[in-house]
Amino acid sequence: MPAKQAIYGMKNQEQQVSFKQFLGKFPEVTLPVTLTPESQRVFSQENDPIPMLMIDQFLAPLEEDPIDEYTEFVPCFQVPDTGNFHALVYWRAGLMDYRYILATFTKQGVLIAKQVIAGTYTDGKTLTQSVATFTEDWVIQIVSGQSGVDASYEAAVSTSYQLELLPEGFIVPTN
């Protein structure tokens, strides 16, 4: 039995939810939105959790890292007025690994693109934190900094870059 099924139980192949039901977990927001380490608390309080069946069907296939009993997913928001695609931001939490992920889908639910846009994670030696602001014109401004796990943050080693969400649903760097 695959590890994921062993952890979550056998998935009934006849149990399916529609992509429209999945989208319903992600409220549309007014941009700009800033994603910080604390933002997930607000999303967790205001948005209903994503049921395991939806995670199995729509999010687990997107994830490169294993999903275990400590992994949590929180729906954050849906980008408004995207036209021919859907753009969703969700928060994935694991042990010492918290990430905001932007995923774009066709109207039928087929993945177009996926990108980590903010979060906090460590490799055991270095702590990396990123904050993202999603602007009205679909530019995502990201500031990222690192520090030693037992040291303070140093602004001199921070970086910033931008991504853009294109009208076709692709996510591309702009600088």
- Ordered by start, the domain boundaries in the chain are 14-173
158 neighbors 152 (Cβ within 8 angstroms) = no
* Residue type at 79 in one-letter notation: V
Over the stretch 52-83, which tens digit does the pLDDT of each residue have?
999 999 999 999 888 888 899 999 999 999 99
Instruction: Please state the φ and ψ torsions of residue 150, each to the nearest 5 degrees.
Output: -105, 15
Residues 6+ apart with CB under 8 A from 92: 59, 63, 71, 72, 73, 98, 99, 101
15-54 residue pLDDT tens: 789 999 999 999 999 999 999 989 999 999 999 989 999 9
Sign of the CA dihedral with 173 first, then 155, 103, and 136 last: negative
Entry pTM: 0.86
